Structure 1
């Protein structure tokens, strides 16, 4: 049995920071190696559903999250002109649903871990396994040895590449934009996430903490499609000009610099995602579309479970097998459900869109029940 147990974590985003915190809480040394030179989380807002706030409660961070986030009570789906299709109450759990800026969540996690457990400006290159140790090599020339290694380095994981255990990413024909503004539209309903569905396009928004509004837009597009020459904001204003009034209002009120854009990818769920004393976590293990809002939430679940599996007796190989066994069915369901939801957004023909909207209205109770069971899960 090793006397000094060190876990190397590659990637300092939400998944990596949460894992470092979870391992620190059970007395294991976990050191995060992050390629950026400043520990920060880019992006905008996320919804922490009850399955994720359960993890924050176990970390002792729920009250702090409530202090910087905003409690969400309903998830409302609408047609593009604002006609309600489904209205799902999400405040019936024993735990709250919190809308929060990604950076606020990131800070909550990493400031509860000693600063020396984060090593910045280190780009992972390769790994080696020798007996019960793993060595991580970085582009700077740094070589680090540990008892185990966890790849939490995101969608294009270098650790995943080193393990050669997964198929390539699949582009799902959607481009997304995310915006942040202090403007609150006239049509906003307090406590609501409001989502609007059109033909091959969608738009949603929610209140975060500190009076900020987060919005997201999505549209079918070719992979790598560049911004329009007129700029992101004007392109979006043109795309959504005849939608429910709050949509063009929010776009117009957002500075161009506060609009981010990315292509959307996932990967069919496959295993193994572990090899001996090395495993993957979050998007590195199970990238999914954002349609169910479960990317960060499942990364928090992963962190909690992998720490639970690494408790004494300390055996990383067996622990990672158990972790994967427990997490694969859950994350597989999330990836597949997120993809199905995405497929519903690909419809372009007005008749197909009308049929989809009618179906959603008729199946409102079933959709609500499925939604609640998804978030009732407790890792």
Structure 2
């Protein structure tokens, strides 16, 4: 068992290619875009993910292009502190990093011949323990195993599990990136503000970049307001904590992305024979716990470990799934639970939620600890 086909060259696919190369396999990544470019904005790599980077020998570089994060603070919409969790209590750091910087770090360490760009996966066939993958260009490749790391609307997932669409969770989100650092920003902090059916958060990334995100309950596929994204957000958040409208005003319209939020109720199996799924293709989750990219890194590392221990890919993928399912199921459910706390709109319900969060401070802190103390 040697040749592994990976569909999708995002963070999960690139990390898998790197982990497999290091473990002595021959992975080849097929990515539909013509250049390796990770869009999006910032992510927090919690200790469970920096553990993976350390094992892949990339942690020091990640720290150089990222920013060390020490606290996670929840506040009311006007800036009254509800909970302040210190997140630098582990043997490993929490790093705020731009998605593109992490992506680059991963694929720069994978030999160049392991990536085939501009190849759109269409279908697959199983023949005599070999997987045959067919692409829109007419390319056909075969391998001993295939891993679908092709995201929320994974074509590999559809091929092996059917076309069940992901679940819209009634939230729309905006993400912005700016060089402007507000003078009230507390160094090392992720600061989150909770209002009626809305939230806003920001954190520092490497290279002096500030990353912010906003979320609001909304119907699916709601178009941008006629005035444009930036103006719409300035209006929505005008009377929030003063740093928030400042950050929006300092961001170029072109640097504001918007997406609807989806997940899938956790179900098994993810695998069929010598084909399996990874990251969002297997267990898409809401961003409320900040674990999407982190769990994809864990998946990549575990899959390489299982293939090293089990020469038969069918047995290896079963082992991988049984190791990963309980953890990712818990995080998907926790992320959804956390999002539901953000749905309250009635002022009294919002006040009760904020009081509840304050009362639950130590429970919130210990749930953060157990989530990030995991070492794949």
The TM tier, using the shorter chain, reads over 0.9
What is residue 102 of structure 2 aligned with on the other side? 105
Q: Offset of 1:187 from its aligned partner?
A: 1.7
Q: Is the 8 A contact 1:133 1:145 kept in 2?
A: yes
Report deviation, 1:313.
Answer: 4.5
Q: Classify the secondary structure of the residue corresponding to 2:74.
A: strand
Q: Is the 8 A contact 2:193 2:200 kept in 1?
A: yes
Partner of 2:203: 206
1:337 to 329, 334, 341: 334
Deviation at 1:363, TM superposition (A): 1.0
- Cα contact 2:32–2:120 (8 A) shared by 1: yes
> Structure 1 segments of 4 or more deviating over 4 A?
none
Alpha-carbon distance between aligned partners in 1 of 2:304 and 2:355, rounded to the nearest angstrom:
45
Q: Which residue of 1 aligns with 2:374?
A: 377
RMSD: 0.8
State the partner residue of 2:54.
57
**1:170-218 CA distances to partner (integer Å, 9 max, x unpaired)?**
1000000000000011221000000000000000000000000000000
Aligned to 1:285: 282
Deviation at 1:348, TM superposition (A): 0.4
Identify if the C-alpha distance between structure 1 residues 166 and 321 changes in structure 2 by more than 3 Å, giving closer, same or farther: farther
1:219 matches 2:219 = no
Conserved 8 A contact 2:158-2:164: no
The answer for the alignment partner of 2:165 in structure 1 is 168
- Cα deviation for residue 166 of structure 1 reads 7.4
Q: Which residue of 2 aligns with 1:230?
A: 227
Asked if 2 retains the 8 angstrom alpha-carbon contact of 1:165 and 1:273, the reply is no
TM-score (norm: length of structure 2): 0.99
How many residues in Structure 1 have an aligned counterpart in Structure 2? 376
Secondary structure in 2 aligned to 1:209?
A: coil
Partner of 1:144: 141
Q: In structure 2, how many angstroms separate the alpha carbons of the residues matched to 1:187 and 1:155? A: 36
Residue 20 of structure 1 contacts residue 113 of structure 1 at CA under 8 Å; is this kept in 2? yes
Instruction: Indicate conservation of the 8 Å contact 1:167/1:267, yes or no.
Output: no
Match of 1:363 among 357, 360, 370: 360
Aligned ranges for residues 272-311 of structure 1 at < 5 Å?
A: 272-311=269-308
For residues 279-327 of structure 1, the C-alpha deviation after alignment (integer angstroms, 9 at most, x for no partner) is: 0000000000000000000000000000000015411000000000000
1:177 equivalent among 155, 174, 177: 174
Equivalent residues of 1:165, 1:272 under 8 A apart: no
Matched, 1:33 2:6: no
| Shift of residue 131, structure 1, vs aligned partner | 1.5
Q: Distance in 2 between matches of 1:245 and 1:85?
A: 17
Unaligned runs of 5+ in 2: none
Query: What's 2:10 paired with?
Result: 13
Query: Which of 71, 75, 79 is equivalent to 2:72?
Result: 75
2:84 corresponding residue in structure 1: 87
Alignment partner, residue 270 of structure 1: 267
Secondary structure in structure 1 of the residue aligned to 2:268: coil
Residues in 2 aligned to 1:45 and 1:68: alpha-carbon distance in whole angstroms: 12
- CA contact 2:153–2:165 (8 Å) conserved in 1: no
Q: Which residue of 2 aligns with 1:188?
A: 185
Query: Which one is further off, 365-374 or 9-18?
Result: 365-374
Under a length normalisation based on structure 1, what TM-score does the superposition of the two structures give? 0.98
Question: After superposition, where does 1:317-336 map in structure 2 within 5 Å?
Answer: 317-336=314-333
* Residue 28 (structure 1) shift: 0.2
Residues 232-277 of structure 1 deviation map (CA, whole Å, 9 limit, x = unaligned):
0000000000000110000000000000000000000000000000
Secondary structure of 1:210's counterpart equals coil
